[in-house]
């Protein structure tokens, strides 16, 4: 009886196919990338720098303790109340703004706040100070920062809508798509100057 040979399978093409599939999945698969808060750290001031005198009324204090509880202006507050409280402070318009080129920017004619003598003078003087504890959860800190950013976004959107009939969010997107457009640039800068985002992080307190 003749010996029957077992046919061999050519595995060379299988390796090529596997390699092509690997390349395909590497190219088409999306990966989740954790994102943080984009912030520019302040530069070290010169030795002869004299810090400006800031009125207490122009500082909005937000404290987060190790139990992730908020103390805003010495009062307990839920995080879902923070945005409205920040807007009320920033948009108060109770006095004159900063000096620019030795000329006062004057009263805020676009502010719609209560003009309280115990709150901020002007949006360009309003400082939000955030102090957390070393035991504060990072998620809580992110939520607080997000609520403060929402406050500025809402104010900027309102003013942009009043002046240019378009929200600041849309205006900024148009400018990102057309960086050479001087008109869009001036409008974006004008809204930013009207409501500058001034959020300061204080040194965290130590958890006991």
CA pair distance 127, 144, nearest whole angstrom: 15
Within its chain, how far is the Cα of 138 from the centroid? 15
Domain assignment of residue 133, yes or no = yes
Domain membership flag for residue 142: yes
Position 140 in a domain: yes
Are 185 and 175 a contacting pair, CB within 8 Å?
yes
- 30-84 residue pLDDT tens: 666 555 556 655 566 677 767 778 899 999 999 999 999 999 999 999 999 999 9
Q: Where are the alpha helices (DSSP H) in the chain?
A: 12-28, 82-90, 138-164, 168-177, 182-194
Nearest to 55 by CA among 146, 121, 147: 121
Confidence of residue 141 (pLDDT cuts 50, 70, 90): very high
User: Is position 28 within any domain?
Assistant: no
The residues near 141 (Cβ < 8 Å, ≥ 6 apart) are: 64, 132
- Number of independent structural domains in the chain: 1
5-9, 133-137, 158-162, 191-195: the lowest-pLDDT one: 5-9
User: Which tens digit of pLDDT belongs to each residue from 93-133?
Assistant: 999 888 766 556 789 999 999 999 999 999 999 999 999 99
Q: Is residue 129 part of a domain?
A: yes
| Two structure tokens written together for 128 | 């939000």
Using a pLDDT cut of 70, give the percent of the chain over it. 82
Residue 34 belongs to a domain: no
Q: Which domain holds residue 190?
A: 56-201
């Amino acid at each position: 009886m003749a010996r029957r040979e077992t046919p061999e399978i050519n595995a060379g093409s299988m390796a090529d196919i596997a390699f092509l599939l690997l390349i395909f999945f590497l190219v088409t698969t999306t990966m989740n990338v954790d994102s943080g808060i984009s912030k520019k750290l302040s530069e070290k001031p010169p030795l002869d720098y004299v810090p400006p005198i800031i009125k207490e009324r122009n500082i909005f204090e937000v404290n987060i303790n190790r139990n992730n509880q908020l103390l805003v202006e010495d009062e307990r507050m839920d995080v879902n109340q923070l945005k409205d409280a920040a807007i009320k402070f920033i948009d108060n318009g109770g006095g004159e703004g900063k000096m620019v080129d030795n000329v006062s920017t004057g009263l805020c004619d676009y502010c719609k706040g209560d003009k309280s003598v115990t709150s901020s003078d002007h949006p360009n003087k309003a400082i939000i100070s955030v102090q957390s504890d070393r035991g504060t959860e990072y998620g809580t800190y992110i939520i607080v920062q997000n609520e403060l950013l929402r406050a500025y976004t809402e104010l900027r959107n309102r003013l942009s809508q009043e002046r240019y009939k378009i929200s600041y969010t849309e205006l900024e997107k148009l400018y990102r798509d057309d960086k050479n457009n001087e008109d869009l640039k001036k409008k974006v800068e004008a809204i930013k100057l009207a409501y500058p985002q001034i959020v300061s992080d204080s040194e965290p307190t130590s958890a006991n």
